[in-house]
Amino acid sequence: MSPPLVSVYMPTRNRLALLRNAVASVLAQDYGMLELIVVDDGSSDGSYDWLRQASAQDFRLRLIRNDTPGGAPRARNQAIRAARGEFVTGLDDDDAFAPGRIAALVHYWQMLEERGQRFSCLYTQDLMTGTGRSTVSHKLPCVEYHDLFFYNSIGNQVFTRRSRMLAAGLFDEDMPAWQDLDAFMRLLQLFGPALLLDLPLYQLDMTPRQDRISVGSKQRILSAYQRLVEKSAALPLSHRQALYLQVFGRLYGFRFGLDDLREYLRYGLHARSLRILGGVMLRQLRGGA
């Protein structure tokens, strides 16, 4: 049997200097059956011209152009719908793949299927750079649907069948934040747990920058929380409470105030979320995010 085609989707807008490295990391993979679909979401910095030249030199690079920016979730959905691969996975334009990432994921998927394992998707450890030193994430070996309300242990990218992403409804284009978390929740709810390939095969750039999608106002993150709660009306109160605490995770650095405590207590007291709250308050007392 011939190896399956893997489609990599990448939204980009006005990040040409970073984009070059991200694209190169995909096209340098040691897995031959791949395509990279880059959606240029209204760039004005020369990204589109560079991508046109690069796609003319390598047929594996496919380009979609939006004259008017529509946001990263819409761009990802465009790429997934246009994908020809049996499998899909994503890459942010400021990150990079390790050279053997796709081959390792395909091999691990096939091995698990041969064993009769039930799972929805795969994820890997991250190699985090850009803070003066490199560190490797410590993700859990298995993530269930309910785990994601307490912490997004998967990260921002998964590897799965394209058909499953379509069945799960792709990315919610109206989510103001947490689009990955929302999509992964639906994917796991439908198809089972996510499993870890315990290798640092995704290079995550942690350099502080104001153009990050994940950087935003507290109100925007709270709006994402509210939308997720509305989607999951049957959630136990402990899950809603834990999801609320994700607003105050390390990534954002928001202060946990008196009004936030009142909102937290509205859901009662639950042991697992109390431990999370303890971590939030400890970081705050230490003066760090």
Per-residue pLDDT, 216: 65
Tell me the per-residue pLDDT of 105-156, one tens digit each, with 9 for 90 and over.
Answer: 999 999 999 999 999 999 999 999 987 789 999 999 999 999 999 999 999 9
Q: Which of 205, 240, 260 finishes a domain?
A: 205
Whether residue 144 is found in the same domain as residue 230: no
Determine, yes or no, domain membership for 86: yes
Work out the average pLDDT over 47-75.
97
Is there a single domain that holds both residue 194 and residue 88? yes
Confidence of residue 183 (pLDDT cuts 50, 70, 90): very high
* pLDDT reported for residue 209: 60
Residues 24 and 102 in one domain: yes
Q: Say what the pTM is.
A: 0.93
Res 215: pLDDT = 55
What integer pLDDT is reported at residue 95 of this predicted model?
Answer: 97
Q: What sign has the CA pseudo-torsion 125, 140, 131, 260?
A: positive
Together in a domain, 32 and 127: yes
Are residues 16 and 41 located together in one domain of the fold? Answer: yes
* Tokens of residue 72, six digits: 């990263």
Question: The tokens of 274 are what?
Answer: 């109390």
Residue 47 lies in a domain: yes
Q: Are 31 and 152 found together in one domain? A: yes
Cβ 95 vs Cβ 204: under 8 Å = yes
Whether 267 and 241 have beta carbons less than 8 Å apart is answered as yes
Which of 153, 171, 205 is the endpoint of a domain?
Answer: 205
CATH of the domain at 10: 3.90.550.10
Boundaries of domain holding 253: 218-285
d(CA 142, CA 189): 14
pLDDT at residue 181 tops 90? yes
- The tens digit of pLDDT for each residue in 185-244 reads 999 999 999 999 999 999 998 887 656 555 569 999 999 999 999 988 788 999 999 999
**Could you give the CA distance from residue 241 to residue 277 in angstroms, rounded to a whole number?**
10
Residues 56, 139, single domain; the answer is yes
- Does residue 116 sit in the same domain as residue 165? yes
Q: Is residue 161 part of a domain?
A: yes
End-of-domain residue from the set 149, 176, 205: 205
Instruction: Supply the mean pLDDT for the chain.
Output: 93
Chain segment 3-25, per-residue pLDDT in tens: 999 999 999 999 999 999 999 99
Residue 213 maps to a domain: no
Count of structural domains, the chain:
2
Question: What pLDDT sits at residue 33?
Answer: 98
pLDDT (0 to 100) of residue 212: 55
